[in-house]
Amino acid sequence: MTEPLTTPAHIAQSIGLTTEEVFVGHHAGAAKAMRLENVTVTFGGRAAVRGVTFDAYQREVTALIGPSGSGKTTLLRALNRMHDTVRSAAVTGTVMLGDTDVYGRSTDPTLLRSRVGMVFQRPNPFPTMSIYENAVAGLRFNGVRKKSLLDEAAESSLVAAALWDSVRDRLKVHASTLSGGEQQRLCIARALAVEPEVLLMDEPTSALDPIATKRIEELIGELKDRVTIIIVTHNMQQAMRVSDRCAFLLMGEDRTGELIEFNSTSKLFSEPDDPRTLDYINGRFG
């Protein structure tokens, strides 16, 4: 079949589904992309973050904010089961991705990670691969081999990451020739190519210069229709700029992080419910 796979009917037909089946998942009342209930992460018995409950809504950007050490990154990494490889780590509570129990017995972590992507603090493109190969790496890992699908996903994700125009003529070039900001956008494209439902971002701009940071913040706004974004940031202004809702975490006296307040961004930064949130906003602690 030489027609491009751009219409739902075509795609549905090529993979043997009906058009209804293709769209059911997107509509089944899932206004909440991810639900967290009483989530606790412990390392060797000691809790790093405890009792977190909030929801991340579809087509929104949810930010995890708070001073360093409050467990934001630990919590984020629990959402795509990155702690599975750490022997001493244990995650309790409930994490739901749509209808799927993320930590359920029948849920495969490897398969889960194709639905929940992650972008890291320091850009980590694969240095031995070209730009194109980086972009399609996730697809290849998940067993996709059809060239037309790979090409299409690569172009779509590179366009979405605002990288297509500058790299379209040098797709075979090694990824390490890109600048820091471009590399991070390549990592975003790489994560997007797999078409995850949720994209986790762990302080994605903290290693970049202000201009690159601004570009990525603009990108986040453009992307949220396509993927639900949960972003960890220690930069309050960034949270204000990009997020729709914020979850404020703080480390208690027992050195365990707790969710202090979860609210829409505008409310949290103007009239927070909790006095500790107010203190944080006013810069009383870093």
The residue ranges that bind other proteins (CB under 8 A) are: 5-8, 10-12, 14-15, 17, 19-23, 25-27, 80, 82, 85, 87, 108, 110-115, 117-118, 120, 122, 124-129, 137-144, 149, 152-153, 156, 174, 176-177, 187, 190-191, 194-195, 197, 225-226
Residue 250 structure tokens: 């703080």
Residue closer to other proteins by CB (options 9, 90) is 9
DSSP state of 34: E
Phi and psi at residue 211, in whole multiples of 5°?
Answer: -70, -45
Q: d(Cα 15, Cα 165) in Å, to the nearest integer?
A: 30
Residue closer to other proteins by CB (options 195, 244) is 195
Contact call for residues 103 and 81 (beta carbons, < 8 A): yes
Residue closer to other proteins by CB (options 122, 276) is 122
Smallest distance, other proteins to C-beta of residue 141, A: 4
Assign residue 44 a region (left: φ > 0; alpha: ψ between -120 and 50; beta: otherwise).
left
Smallest distance, other proteins to C-beta of residue 122, A: 6
Residue 282 structure tokens: 């006013």
Residue closer to other proteins by CB (options 225, 273) is 225
Smallest distance, other proteins to C-beta of residue 274, A: 32
Smallest distance, other proteins to C-beta of residue 43, A: 16
Smallest distance, other proteins to C-beta of residue 169, A: 18
Residue closer to other proteins by CB (options 68, 142) is 142
Residue closer to other proteins by CB (options 98, 181) is 98
Smallest distance, other proteins to C-beta of residue 189, A: 12
3-state secondary structure of 42: strand
Smallest distance, other proteins to C-beta of residue 112, A: 8
Give the residue from 167, 222, 166, 148 showing the smallest Cα distance to 192: 222
Q: Evaluate the CA torsion angle 42, 46, 51, 55 in order and state its sign.
A: negative
- E strands along 142-255, which residues? 198-202, 228-232, 245-251
Residue closer to other proteins by CB (options 135, 251) is 135
Give me the residues paired with residue 63 across strands: 231, 246
Beta strands 32-43 and 46-57: pairing type?
A: antiparallel
Q: d(Cα 59, Cα 31) in Å, to the nearest integer?
A: 9
Q: d(Cα 31, Cα 154) in Å, to the nearest integer?
A: 28
